[in-house]
Structure 1
C-alpha cells in the first residue's frame, strides 16, 4: 500500500460567503423528484405507482439488496410518475415524481419520542435502516451497513467527521453551531452499539465556534472528546481523518472497521439521532448554495426531492451568468450544465462561479513534481495518468492507482493544468467495472 503521509494543500476556502448565514427552512413550490439511486450500492426498489397517495415519512422505495437504502417521501401528495430524471451526478436515473399537495400530512408515529437506552442494538440498527440514512458527507454508503461490522467488540473508535474541508461548503458548520445537541445525542446512540468504543469528534481549527459548542456539550460525557485538527485540504477525507485522530492507516482494500473505527459525518450522526430518538426518517437535507455568481449565498434546510432551481431562486438567483455550476465541493464535486435537478442525500451544495477556472487547455507535463509533492497519499499522479492514457491497467494497479482518493489536489496544483484527477478516477471506475 502507499505510505500515508498527509501532505495536501492550503486553499482559499470561500466559506466567508455563507458561514454566517443561519439555516433557513425552505418549502418547495413544484413537484418533488426522488431518484431510486441516491446512495452507494444498488438502486432502491419502488413501492408506489402512478396515482398512489403518499404521506410525509412514508417509505416509497425499499433497499434492494445488502448494500442499498430506503427512500422516504418528504411531502404528502400524489405519485405523478415513475420515470428517468436527470440528477446532480449527470446521469438519468429512474425516479419517483410526487405532486406536492402542500398539506404535509405525516405517517402515524412520525416524530414520536423514543428512549434509545431501552432499545436493543438490533432495534437501533433497524431504525437507522428504516429511516433510509446514508453517509451525508457525499459518499452515500448505507449507514445501517456501516454500523454492522463483523465484531462490535473490535470497534474502539466512533469518529464524527466535522472537518468540512471542501471550500465554500458551510452546511455542516451551521449544523454544529445551531444543533450541536443532535450531534452529541446521535454519537451517544452510536456508542451504545459499541461498548469498547470512545467517541471522537474531529473539527478543523478554522471553526472555533463549532469546537467550543461541541466541547461544552461533551464536558460531562466521559466517552466523548472533541479534537482540533489543522486546517488543510483534504483533512476531511476518511483516511486522513482516521490517521489524524488514531494514527491508524487505511488503504483501498480496507474499511475503517478493519482498523477498529466507525466514521460518520456530523450530518449523518444528527440524522441517526432523529431516526432513533425522534422516529423521524431522513426526509430533509441542509444544503449550501454559494459561489461568487450567487446573489445571496445561503444555507437551507429543504425536503429531499426539491429542485435546486428553487434553491437558487431563494438565494436571489445569479448576480451574473455563471460559467460553471458545481454540485458538491469545487474539488470533488460534479460540474453540470443544468441546475434543475433534485436535492438528494448525497448533494449537500450547489456552487455557481462567474469564471470557470478549470477551463484552461492542458499542456505537456513539465516534470515539476508538484502533483507528487502535494498528494496526501504519496502517489505519483502524472505517472498514473500516463499509464491510464496508454491503457496499461496492470501497471496502473501496481503503481497504487487504486489508492487514489480523488481529492483533486494534484489537478489543483498542476501548472500544466493536466486533468490528472479526472483521468485517474475514470480509470479506477473502468477497473472496478471489470472486476464486477
Structure 2
C-alpha cells in the first residue's frame, strides 16, 4: 500500500537514547500543580473554576472558543489560585493552581464517550483535551476538521522520534502497541479515511515488530501499515514524513491536508484511544528524563502542571549542577532558566546537561554549503542567517523564512558553529512583526 520515498537533506546526530529500555513508571503526585490554560496553539482557555473549588482528576478547569483545547485537573484537591501569570517561557497566560488532597480521586462524572457521526467523533476528541503530543501542541480535534473542498486520503502517524535522547514515544509503541493500532484504525474509520501508515525509524526494530504484530492480531492490515524509514534527522518532521511515506509534497505555505494527509503523533493517537476506552481526558504526560546530570534517567508518567524541579527531585535528583536544562530534545527543544516551569501537554523530555551543553564559539560563515545540503526543505540557511541578523525583511521574504521548521539540521552541520537556527527563529519573529505592522493600517481602514 505504501512505499518508501527519498527525501532531501538531513543529518545524523548521536542518538544518546540510553533510556530506550526504561519502562514508563508513574511518579508520586506532587503537593501542588500549576496548570497553564495555553498549552496549545490558539487562544488560551478561560478558567471555569474559582479559588476554593474542589476538583478531581479529570475535572474541567479551562476552555474557550475557536482554536482551543480544554484543560483538566491532573490531581484532586483544592483550587488555590486562578490568575494570569508570566510563565518561565516568557508567555503570559491564565494559570490554575491546585493543592493536592493526596487522594488522586477521579472525577465521578467521567464516562466513556460515544459517537455515531464524524462530527460527534471530533467533538469527543475535543473533549479529551488532546493536542499534538510530539511537541507541536496543535489541537487534535481542529486538525481533524477537513476544510471544504479538500479531503483526507491518508492518516500518517509519526512514530519516528528522531530527536536525540527522547524515548517516550518509543516506549509508547513498545508498551501500548495494540492501543496505538486500535487508535489509528478508529481515527481512520471515524473520519472515513481509506488508508493509514505508521512511520517508524529503522533504528527501532522492536517497535516496528510490536506494531506489525498488533496489526496482524487486530486484523486491520488492509487499513493500517507500518513503514520502516531510514534513520535520519529530521525524518519526523511533518512535511518530511509525508513525502517519505506518500511521495507527496506539501506546498510552500500549505498544510498537510493540501497533500491529502492527516498527520498525528503516535502518542497522540494512543492517548485519543485511551480516552475512548476509559473516558479520562489528557491529565498526564510521559516524559523522558535524561542527560549527564540526572541520577535516574528514565521515562516517567507525570501529572501535567507538576514543576520541573519537583519532577527532577521525585525521580532521584541530580548528580551535579547542569549547565543547561532543556524542555524537549537538543535539536528543537527550548532552554529554560526557571525550573519551577510546569510540565506541559506537549513536553516529551527534560534534559539536564553538563558537558553536552558546551558549544564551540561561533566563527564567520565560510560559505561551504553544508547547511544547504542538510536542509530537508531545500532552503538556503546561510542566507536566512545573514538576513535575520541584519533584520532584512526583503531578503527574509525572498528566501522564504516562514517555510523553515527550525529543525536545527543547518546548525548541526555548520563547521563554523553558527547559531543558524536560533538566528532564523529570531528572524521569523522580526518578519512577523514587520508584516503585522505593514498590514495593520489596511485592517483599520
What TM-score, normalized to structure 1? 0.94
Instruction: Please list, as runs of the form range in 1=range in 2, the aligned pairs for 1:22-101 lying within 5 A after superposition.
Output: 22-63=23-64, 65-85=65-85, 87=87, 89-101=89-101
Say if 2:168 is the partner of 1:166: no
Counterpart residue number, 1:195: 192
Deviates more, 1:399-408 or 1:326-335: 399-408
Q: What corresponds to 2:311 in structure 1?
A: 311
Does residue 1:147 correspond to 2:148, yes or no? no
User: For the residues of structure 1 that align with 2:157 and 2:9, how far apart are their CA atoms?
Assistant: 22
Cα distance per residue 1:127-182 (max 9 Å; x no partner): 11111111001010001100111259821100110000000000000011111122
Q: Secondary structure at the match of 1:95?
A: strand
- Greater shift, 310-319 or 210-219, is seen at 310-319
Equivalent pair of 2:35/2:97 in contact (CA under 8 Å): yes
1:129 to 126, 130, 138: 126
Query: Counterpart of 1:10?
Result: 12
Output the CA distance in 2 between the equivalents of 1:109 and 1:274. 17
CA positional deviation for 1:310: 2.2
Shift of 1:429: 2.5
Q: 2:105 corresponds to which residue?
A: 105
* Aligned match of 2:176: 179
Distance 1:176 1:88, change over 3 A: farther
Cross-structure match for 1:253: 253
Q: CA deviation at 1:432?
A: 2.8
SS in 1 for 2:108: coil
Q: Secondary structure at the match of 2:190?
A: coil
Distance 2:366 2:409 in 1: 17
Q: Is the 8 A contact 2:308 2:343 kept in 1?
A: yes
Per-residue deviation, 1:216 = 0.6
What is the alpha-carbon distance in structure 2 between the residues aligned to residue 82 and residue 156 of structure 1? 43
Q: Shift in Å at residue 356 of structure 1?
A: 5.1
Q: What is the Cα deviation at residue 339 of structure 1?
A: 2.0
Describe the superposition over 1:229-257 as per-residue Cα deviations: whole angstroms up to 9, x where unpaired.
11000010001110000011114521111
TM-aligned CA deviation for residue 53 of structure 1: 1.4
Q: In structure 1, what is the Cα distance between the partners aligned to 2:198 and 2:347?
A: 22
Asked if the contact 1:251–1:403 (Cα under 8 Å) also holds between the matched residues in 2, the reply is no
Matches within 5 A, 1:357-376: 357=357, 359-376=359-376
Partner in structure 1 of residue 266 of structure 2: 266
How far the C-alpha of 1:358 sits from its partner, in A, is 5.1
- In structure 1, C-alpha distance between the alignment counterparts of 2:109 and 2:278, rounded to whole Å: 9
Q: 1:257-287 CA deviation, whole Å, 9 max, x = no partner?
A: 1111000001100111122232121111101
C-alpha contact 1:36 1:95 (8 A) present in aligned 2: yes
Check 1:89–1:351 CA distance in 2 against 1; reply closer, same or farther (3 A cut): same
- Matched with 2:203 is 206
Describe the shift of the 1:363–1:405 C-alpha distance in structure 2 as closer, same or farther (beyond 3 A): same
Residue matched to 1:381: 381
Q: 1:217 to 1:88 in 2, by over 3 A?
A: farther
Structure 1, gaps ≥5 residues long: none
Secondary structure (helix, strand or coil) at the match of 1:192 reads: helix
For residues 324-339 of structure 1, the aligned pairs below 5 Å read 324-339=324-339
Partner Cα distance (1:388, 1:58) in 2: 44
**Contact (CA 8 Å) 1:186, 1:272: kept in 2 or not?**
yes
Shift >6 Å, 4+ stretches:
none
Q: 1:56-89 CA distances to partner (integer Å, 9 max, x unpaired)?
A: 11110002x3211110111111111123556463
RMSD, aligned α-carbons:
1.8
Partners of 1:33 and 1:95 within 8 A in 2:
yes
Structure 2 stretches lacking a partner, 5+ long: 1-5, 437-445
